[in-house]
């Protein structure tokens, strides 16, 4: 299976909320940072075939078009 192009949502020419968030947690929670980076790598490798708990279906009027692109807009960390 060819790799999936992972594209991050961009607020404007300079702001990428997910990258800002990852930068913030890299210092405060390195384990969560590594887990998120690994999940992004799995998404790039497996694309639409990636399943729960790493990926989930889209809902509420958001649809997938084709198999070549995945858009990441944000992530969550559960408190222990």
pLDDT top residue among 61 and 23:
23
For residue 71, what pLDDT band results from cuts at 50, 70 and 90? low
Output the pLDDT for position 33: 93
Q: How far is CA 44 from CA 1, 6, 13, 30, 79, in A?
A: 11, 6, 23, 21, 26
pLDDT over threshold 60, residue 57: yes
pLDDT over threshold 80, residue 5: yes
Average pLDDT, the chain: 79
Q: Model pTM?
A: 0.72
CA gap 40, 14 in Å, rounded: 21
The domain locations on the chain are 5-72
């Amino acid at each position: 299976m060819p790799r999936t192009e992972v594209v991050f949502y961009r607020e404007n020419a300079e702001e990428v909320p997910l990258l800002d968030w990852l930068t913030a947690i890299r210092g405060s929670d390195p384990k969560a940072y590594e887990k998120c980076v690994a999940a992004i790598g799995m998404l790039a490798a497996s694309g639409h075939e990636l399943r729960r708990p790493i990926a989930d279906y889209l809902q509420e009027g958001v649809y997938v078009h084709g198999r070549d692109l995945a858009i990441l807009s944000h992530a969550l960390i559960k408190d222990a």
